[in-house]
Chain A
């Protein structure tokens, strides 16, 4: 399991209901079931990963964040997780709304477009940035909605979500040291990880 998935797992209370949107190889689901006794389920767009997960006994269904969350009832889950995918969905704002409709908490991670290397490349070279995190050229990238940590915070404020916890994470998933200053995190954090809750959800 990636290090940032350990951080995510650490945000999830034991024996809760979890939906992992974009569950990939199912590592987080497996961990949550075995170590936290969670009722953890997944949605995954890549059919090979779905087959692999189900073949490991994990409950995963083929689907995606844009089209399948809408079919779940309100409050079906305690946590809905979206890992490193928000920037690639068709309608990020709607996906967040759905996540916080069907779950009381949303855990969202995304690559931070405000990182200094991206800013510098664009400033100095005048070309779309290419880094290890943003590694595909503009014409091939699935990342159609990149945002910075500050952008995301603004959206949360506009939508009325409470940021219960946030952290900057580097590419390997290690927690970055920028814990106090959002501005520094926005400059030096490669990935961001947020725990959101609805206003009516208990702390």
Chain B
């Protein structure tokens, strides 16, 4: 596994808010850096802004190459000139979430200790919530002088942020697209996150979260966490189609020993997962992974409003478009339907589409023509209703 310097000095476009944020946990975090990318041009009336919210391991590099991996942006097929989220028309903002590791304040950021020295927050970083992430994004949006976002769009944990935007700043969201998401994190999903976290804790190089002191990273634990999580992003059909039972024939590449030994040959699906794990640790911080998965686990829109999931949306002026994928078992359609019905209860303007796909949860990042058409059409409709040419 690669051993990248745990505190990679990389500069990201960002704004520093010296007054910081009051977090849900009661802690006042200050100062707060908010790192972001923008695409397209903000109209003179500042009414064409679309905020894209990224998922657990995403970042603000939605449509340009990743500065660490050099890979294309994670939604480069969706955001750009002429694409469904059309940067010729719209001004697209994507913000690294609070607690992340790509420039927004998170566990890897430095804090000043009482003796005046600096060190990373590490596991002392306060527990954050999805709403805290949204508050940080809100700081940036207001800083840009945008009073109302034309749309807030996001998949998975990004969808949780979309919902929290609508609940917290209803008048500032004209249209919302929560995609492949749920109004609460299910017990099964919390369980998967816990396995991911335990994998990190079990890595001897985790050093109780202070791995920077030894100039190490818990690469093995983080890679296992990623491998496990990655399975939940796919589907049985997708794994079968992609890999089947095919075996990689290069001998002697297994974990132990050469041909004839127990692990002498490797199934393609194993090789794929290992690759996913090893590339992930190069770009993601383990403590960020812990902080953000915890924020997802805490997410429960109903619980935040006395158990009534529809209450935060009472009187909402926002147009919603809920999208789920038929083979997504991490955020299944049944949970999206609960959300749709909660919105019906307050007579909100809701579209609800289940896209037929065998690609599992990750379908929202992949080539699904019906999905593209739905996003493009909904945003065009929203722009028309908002009176934007």
Interface positions of A (Cβ within 8 A of B) = 39, 41, 47, 50-51, 53-63, 68, 71-73, 76-77
Contact = CB atoms under 8 A, between A and B. Distances in A.
A53 B351 CA distance: 9
A59 B349 contact: yes
B351 A61 contact: yes
B381 A51 contact: no
10 contacts: A51-B353, A55-B377, A55-B378, A56-B381, A57-B381, A57-B382, A59-B349, A59-B350, A61-B352, A62-B352
Nearest to A55: B377
Contact of A68 (B344, B354, B376, B380): B344
B376 A55 contact: yes
A54 B321 contact: yes
B373 A55 contact: yes
Given A47-B356, A51-B373, A41 B349 contact: yes
Interface string B338-375: 00110011110111111110000000000000100110
B148 interface: no
B374 A61 contact: no
Contacts of B374: 51, 54-55
Interface residues on B, range: 20 to 34
A68 B88 CA distance: 38
Contacts of A68: 341, 344
B54 interface: no
B384 interface: yes
Q: Which 6 A-B pairs have the closest CB atoms?
A: A57-B381, A55-B377, A61-B352, A76-B347, A55-B373, A71-B344
A62 B351 CA distance: 8
A55 B373 CA distance: 5
A76 B374 CA distance: 26
Interface in B316-356: 319, 321-322, 340-341, 344-347, 349-356
B381 A58 contact: yes
A39 B376 CA distance: 21
A59 B356 contact: no
B377 A57 contact: yes
A73 B344 CA distance: 8
Nearest to A57: B381
Contacts of A76: 347
B354 A54 contact: no
A156 to B, nearest CB: 26
Given A57-B378, A73-B345, A50 B384 contact: no
B166 to A, nearest CB: 15
Contact of A71 (B322, B341, B351, B370): B341
Given A47-B356, A71-B345, A72-B344, A61 B350 contact: yes
Given A54-B321, A54-B377, A72-B347, A62 B354 contact: yes
A51 B368 CA distance: 12
Given A54-B321, A55-B374, A73 B354 contact: no
B319 A59 contact: yes
B356 A39 contact: no
B114 to A, nearest CB: 55
Contacts of A50: 351-353
A111 B277 CA distance: 60
A60 B352 CA distance: 7
A68 B376 CA distance: 26
Given A47-B353, A57-B377, A61-B351, 12 more contacts: A50-B352, A51-B373, A54-B377, A55-B374, A56-B377, A57-B384, A60-B351, A61-B340, A61-B344, A68-B341, A72-B345, A72-B347
A41 B344 CA distance: 11
